[in-house]
């Protein structure tokens, strides 16, 4: 341990001097910071077996180096996968040595900015590693809640290394030790993570859950209009002859085969239904946004008035998860709050009546049909216990427990 500590101290001083140079050499900073992180990881592994008399590594020095590294990425054209990743991990080690509320706020904000599917896998991997070494997930408060939801997004990451460390962190946080890269293990970790945050439910977590539902259905209306447009284009002779300029030759590639957005939606709806009442006000903007989106989706279904298009809309791989989740979430909101559901009830009744008029000619996806009926029950103020039971049953990707 002492050897690692002395080497890390030398590397930290060298990195600090390099970052303060007028003409900083970015590759040198990158290599020094990576070497420093390897020493810090070694110290962390040996810390339980050691009792050092003096600590040579300063939390302030680590933090300032991390901040300057992050600034290097903006000022110099160097790969973000190495510089930002190292900066995030250094921030995690700094916060592990000493908790500082202002630094935590900066750290959480940086993770929120960097944690997206288009980021390099090293950056996403570093986000999880920094969460793990910082120990912030073991605390309570807004920062822990935000980081927990960032971790949930990474449990279904497309990169196996990112999924591995995310699953390891989630399972260690829940008290488990078994780690695997299999899809089953990742799903189990996701289930346990949602169950764990359900025990510390708060209005902050509720806002995060509803924001997640909003993100899942953000492109729903656009996707529905796209399917309708393709259906009308198919009737054009030029499109049938492959001479239309807007025809797709190849299907869009799935950016992440490991992400099952509907699974996350079912976990969120399940958690909301387990509560007796929503904590946020019925007039809040997030709730209003989702209910307006649901109303618009129902209007699109009603306006198309075409057997084949309705079938395409409810079976489309891009639309089904968002539409199914939006219908169930809207039903949950109406059941758990004092929101007036008369407008939605009229729209749902119109859509269900139209579909029923088609009889066997209209093959609506059975789960969409089921969700529409549950939403209609919630919108007209039906029995709360019955609606809750039907909502739990409709979350078919997770075990039904009443």
Across 8-22, 62-76, 334-348, the highest mean pLDDT is recorded for: 8-22
**Which has more confidence, 180 or 133?**
133
pLDDT tens string 111-143: 998 888 788 899 999 999 999 999 898 887 788
Summarize the confidence of residues 219-223 as an average pLDDT: 88
Residues 130 and 216 in one domain: no
Confirm whether 153 is domain-assigned. Answer: yes
Share of the chain above pLDDT 70, in %: 81
Residues 108 and 135 in one domain: yes
Confirm whether 270 is domain-assigned. Answer: yes
Tell me the pLDDT band of 64, cut-offs 50, 70 and 90: very high
Tell me the pLDDT band of 177, cut-offs 50, 70 and 90: very low
Summarize the confidence of residues 95-105 as an average pLDDT: 92
Residues 99 and 214 in one domain: no
- Contacts of residues 37-46 at CB distance under 8 Å and 24 or more positions apart, as own/partner, are 37/86, 37/89, 37/90, 37/93, 39/4, 39/5, 39/7, 39/8, 39/11, 40/8, 40/93, 40/133, 41/133, 42/4, 43/1, 43/4, 43/5, 43/8, 44/93, 44/133, 46/1, 46/4
Q: Are 88 and 126 in contact (CB under 8 A)?
A: yes
Residues 186 and 224 in one domain: no
Residues 174 and 94 in one domain: yes
- The predicted model scores a pTM of 0.74
Is 70 exceeded by the pLDDT of residue 245? no
Range of the domain at 151: 2-200
Tell me the pLDDT band of 155, cut-offs 50, 70 and 90: confident
pLDDT tens string 278-302: 777 767 777 888 888 888 888 888 8
Summarize the confidence of residues 182-192 as an average pLDDT: 64
How large is the C-alpha radius of gyration of the chain?
A: 25
Tell me the pLDDT band of 14, cut-offs 50, 70 and 90: very high
Which residues, in sequence order, are CB contacts of 303 under 8 Å at separation 6+?
none
Is 80 exceeded by the pLDDT of residue 243? no
Residues 211 and 143 in one domain: no
**Mean confidence (pLDDT) of the chain:** 81
Nearest-CA neighbor of 86 among 15, 184, 167? 15
Tell me, what's the pLDDT at 34? 93
Instruction: List the CATH number of the domain containing 55.
Output: 1.25.10
Q: Are 174 and 168 in contact (CB under 8 A)?
A: no
Is 50 exceeded by the pLDDT of residue 176? no
**Which has more confidence, 242 or 326?**
326
CA-CA distance, 386 to 369, in Å (whole number)? Answer: 17
Confirm whether 363 is domain-assigned. Answer: yes
Largest CA distance in the chain: 82
Tell me, what's the pLDDT at 21? 86
Nearest-CA neighbor of 393 among 370, 372, 377, 376? 370
Q: Are 108 and 148 in contact (CB under 8 A)?
A: no
Confirm whether 385 is domain-assigned. Answer: yes
Q: Tally the domains of the chain.
A: 2
Residues 134 and 212 in one domain: no
Residues 300 and 319 in one domain: yes
Residues 360 and 382 in one domain: yes
Tell me, what's the pLDDT at 179? 47
Tell me the pLDDT band of 316, cut-offs 50, 70 and 90: confident
Tell me, what's the pLDDT at 92? 94
Confirm whether 292 is domain-assigned. Answer: yes
Tell me, what's the pLDDT at 360? 60
pLDDT tens string 348-362: 888 877 777 665 656
Residues 169 and 219 in one domain: no
CA-CA distance, 36 to 8, in Å (whole number)? Answer: 5
Tell me, what's the pLDDT at 278? 75
CA-CA distance, 9 to 353, in Å (whole number)? Answer: 73
Across 95-104, 185-194, 352-361, the highest mean pLDDT is recorded for: 95-104
Confirm whether 96 is domain-assigned. Answer: yes
Nearest-CA neighbor of 301 among 234, 358, 247? 358
CA distances from 344 to 265, 390, 394 (A): 21, 18, 19
Tell me, what's the pLDDT at 11? 93
CA-CA distance, 344 to 367, in Å (whole number)? Answer: 19
Is 90 exceeded by the pLDDT of residue 378? no
**Which has more confidence, 255 or 82?**
82
Tell me, what's the pLDDT at 32? 93
């Amino acid at each position: 341990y002492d050897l690692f500590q002395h080497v890390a101290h030398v590397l930290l001083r060298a990195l600090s001097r390099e970052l303060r140079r007028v003409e900083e050499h970015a590759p040198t900073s990158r290599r020094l910071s990576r070497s420093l992180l390897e020493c810090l990881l070694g110290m962390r592994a040996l810390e339980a077996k050691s009792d050092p008399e003096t600590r040579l590594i300063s939390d302030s020095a680590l933090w300032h180096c991390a901040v300057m590294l992050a600034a290097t990425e903006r000022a110099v054209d160097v790969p973000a996968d190495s510089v930002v990743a190292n900066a995030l991990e250094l921030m995690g080690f700094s916060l592990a040595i000493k908790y500082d509320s202002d630094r935590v706020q900066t750290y959480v904000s940086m993770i929120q900015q960097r944690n997206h599917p288009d980021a390099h896998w090293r950056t996403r991997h570093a986000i999880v590693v920094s969460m793990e070494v910082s120990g912030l997930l073991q605390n309570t408060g807004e920062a822990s809640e935000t980081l927990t939801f960032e971790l949930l997004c990474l449990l279904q990451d497309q990169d196996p290394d990112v999924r591995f460390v995310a699953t390891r962190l989630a399972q260690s946080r829940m008290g488990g030790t078994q780690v695997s890269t299999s899809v089953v293990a990742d799903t189990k970790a996701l289930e346990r993570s949602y169950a764990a945050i359900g025990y510390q439910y708060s209005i902050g977590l509720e806002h995060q859950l509803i924001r997640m539902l909003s993100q899942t259905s953000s492109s729903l209306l656009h996707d529905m209009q796209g399917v309708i447009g393709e259906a009308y284009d198919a009737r054009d002779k030029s499109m049938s002859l492959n001479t239309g300029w807007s025809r797709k030759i190849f299907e869009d590639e799935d950016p992440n085969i490991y992400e099952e957005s509907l699974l996350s939606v079912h976990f969120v709806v399940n958690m909301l239904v387990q509560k007796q009442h929503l904590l946020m006000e019925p007039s809040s903007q997030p709730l209003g946004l989702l209910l307006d989106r649901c109303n618009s989706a129902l209007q699109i279904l009603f306006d198309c008035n075409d057997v084949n298009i309705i079938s395409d809309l409810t079976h489309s791989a891009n639309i089904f998860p968002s539409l199914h989740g939006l219908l169930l979430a809207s039903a949950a909101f109406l059941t758990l709050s004092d929101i007036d559901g008369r407008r939605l009830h009229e729209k749902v009744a119109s859509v269900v009546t139209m579909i029923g008029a088609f009889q066997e000619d209209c093959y609506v996806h059975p789960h969409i049909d089921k969700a529409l009926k549950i939403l209609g029950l919630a919108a007209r103020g039906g029995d709360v216990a019955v609606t809750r039971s039907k909502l739990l049953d409709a979350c078919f990707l997770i075990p039904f427990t009443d």
